[in-house]
Chains A and B, each alone.
Chain A
């Protein structure tokens, strides 16, 4: 914690004293790539709506972002002290191959214990996204390759520099899998009418596997499927995962997204013989983001419901139903020229989160099954430019195990202080 306070102190000093410029302004080298079709954007555009730099006269544009932080957390009075974490380093490469034919890829190093919960063994380095887009018409685009399933808003719009919080939302990382990517194909399209925008996405991809109900978390845990990279060439169920999303946006109000993802998740046949019934997972998601006019208060929220067909003779520790989400409220309090930055912003923010990993009652007693979590996280951030954020967060969290017990080394009251940075480059 001393480290975090020291970081805060250094930040204060940096604010107070005028720094000498020792860097070439890289923005002079910056030639942003063209956006795909129009000035209006929806969450579905997030993968292209990033700062890219065009490489000379080639058709390639590159970009990326990085995230790092130091955290001090304490659960039930037990702490591991200051933890320095280099969470992500991501590189994007985009190319306009021909008119209306584009390719984008994202290669990422990731080691985020807050979004992993022990399912993956250490750092991951892999292809997060690599897809070809062919536009036949603004209402009809074909996308194929390694894609991000468009469930909710966060999965497609998750870049660290966009948020005022060092941790990703718990419901979107430990209930829904974040950066949930799969090989597959699909269609998407957009339409604009005045201030209004409409979009759709419909994909068929590879999907989940039995690990979502057979994992070291001891609970229904969709992110467990991420640890199996065999999903990139073998579908556990042999059946597609369907993902669809409808988006409705208004320049003045914000964007509402309604999405669904579902399909058979289990390996129900072995050597051609049926060994189990087909069992499905269904996810329904509502996401909203918008800005209150005048106040410039930004609100991002997403809530999801998960329904999983569990074998009838399986332990109730694995839930049929889960529910969770988050709301971020971000208020700019100072905007303008700060130090040498003309477009700097200081924000205050708060995130509220709730996750119920086991929504239901015990058959044995009729009592409620808990396994839930509440968290609130105030934050303050400084953005010298819109692409770069320094953020200081405090988390207060309470958690119950399945019986409602909240006393324990792993499930007790938790608080954490974190300081981090994230930037596009």
Chain B
């Protein structure tokens, strides 16, 4: 009896072990942590209480909203994670459409639902439409990782980068985008407002949003149709509804709101991969040589931040946070803040090589995803960046390949 039971035991164990081994082959039984080089989503170094807040914000950031939790009736996405899968760039299926502003005097179509189009709507509603006479642009959501570092860059550093361009031989100029900030936004420490009361803004494709607090409020309201204490009016369809004048009950509470603001603020920066690869280094040198780094500045340094992990850090976003004239090819006749319609914020290039992972294996670059490869994106650079784009075309095939490989390593 005992011998039979022992045999059963051995068979039990061997069979299970063999099955697991055959299934997992060379892999370990349990998955390892995502290599930070290949994924985003991780936090900077935080205290225990900050980690708990980050975790709460993480859950809320990737939560899907429903009509019962405030979604709509007009929206573009059902949650932050819809546009920022893994805190990365957006996919064209959640592309934003903005309309109604052609100069610094403001949006002339607010009574018609401007500035953002509610592309989708809940059942029973009719989607918003762009009113006659309004110009518009389409915008793919930018990468979320590292934005807390961008927020902590002092105004003085942004102004200094603009000033340094005065004699740029490639014709690069650029300027900060000054915009009026809403009453619920508190200026950051060290802010340098202009005499007309406008502040240097830095978020969004037009750099028209002041800080992450404002960005989160706008994203909930414009992208998901969710009201907060800060933006209490739901988007509306001007063809069917009057402009709302009575604030709605907030559909997101302040604690949830703050946790999401903290979450995006405390996200780690993307990490470059294969930084020591010879071709990558060759590409980086060529990138600087042809003038790309005039705008896509590798290193920026943060100033004071109440979050210790963000304060006084040098990081590598490959942007100068300025808006530059990109020429008529990128002029959609729509703008925000003080930027001209052809001016766009220098897109941070960090995380560029991870874009295919969240864009279905392909890439959709430039502000509206019109470029389907890095090479195509470079060639679409006009205006102040035309010289750099032309210089890229003059590079040898090997050097062009190395630049692409460098950009893919970011």
Interface residues of A (CB under 8 A from B): 12, 15-16, 18, 74-79, 210-211, 213-218, 266, 275-276, 279, 311, 313-317, 333-334, 338-339, 346, 348, 350, 362-365, 367-368, 370, 376, 378, 380, 382, 392, 394, 396, 401-410, 412-415, 417
Whether A76 contacts B360 by the Cβ 8 Å rule is no
With A16-B6, A403-B85, A413-B31 already in contact, the answer to whether A315 and B361 are too (CB < 8 A) is no
Given contacts A315-B82, A315-B120, A317-B77, 8 further A-B contacts (CB under 8 A): A76-B33, A218-B64, A218-B82, A313-B125, A314-B121, A368-B360, A396-B24, A409-B41
A407 to B88, CA, bound (A): 11
B61-107 residues with Cβ-Cβ distance < 8 A to A are: 62-69, 71, 75, 77-79, 82, 85-86, 88, 91-93, 95
- Min C-beta distance of A276 to chain B, whole Å: 5
**CB-CB nearest in chain B for A334:** B8
* 8 Å CB contact of B127 from A12, A15, A313: A313
* B5 contacts partner chain A, Cβ-Cβ < 8 Å: yes
Whether B86 contacts A365 by the Cβ 8 Å rule is no
Contact with A along B381-396 (1 / 0, CB 8 A): 0000000000000000
Whether B2 contacts A266 by the Cβ 8 Å rule is no
* B11 contacts partner chain A, Cβ-Cβ < 8 Å: yes
Whether A315 contacts B78 by the Cβ 8 Å rule is yes
- Min C-beta distance of A76 to chain B, whole Å: 5
Whether A396 contacts B23 by the Cβ 8 Å rule is yes
* 8 Å CB contact of A77 from B15, B34, B121: B34
* 8 Å CB contact of B357 from A378, A405, A415: A405
Interface residues of B (CB under 8 A from A): 1-2, 4-6, 8-9, 11-13, 15-16, 19-20, 23-24, 29-34, 38-39, 41, 58, 62-69, 71, 75, 77-79, 82, 85-86, 88, 91-93, 95, 120-127, 357-362, 364
With A76-B31, A346-B12, A392-B16 already in contact, the answer to whether A215 and B64 are too (CB < 8 A) is yes
A348 to B30, CA, bound (A): 21
With A376-B23, A407-B39 already in contact, the answer to whether A75 and B31 are too (CB < 8 A) is yes
Residues of B within 8 A of A313 (CB): 120-121, 125-127
Whether A214 contacts B20 by the Cβ 8 Å rule is no
* 8 Å CB contact of A405 from B19, B24, B31, B85: B85
- Min C-beta distance of A356 to chain B, whole Å: 15
Most chain B CB inside 10 Å of its own CB: which residue of A79, A266, A333, A404: A404
Residues of A within 8 A of B66 (CB): 211, 214-216
- Min C-beta distance of A407 to chain B, whole Å: 4
The 4 closest A-B pairs by CB, nearest first: A218-B64, A77-B33, A378-B19, A367-B360
* 8 Å CB contact of B123 from A276, A350, A363: A276
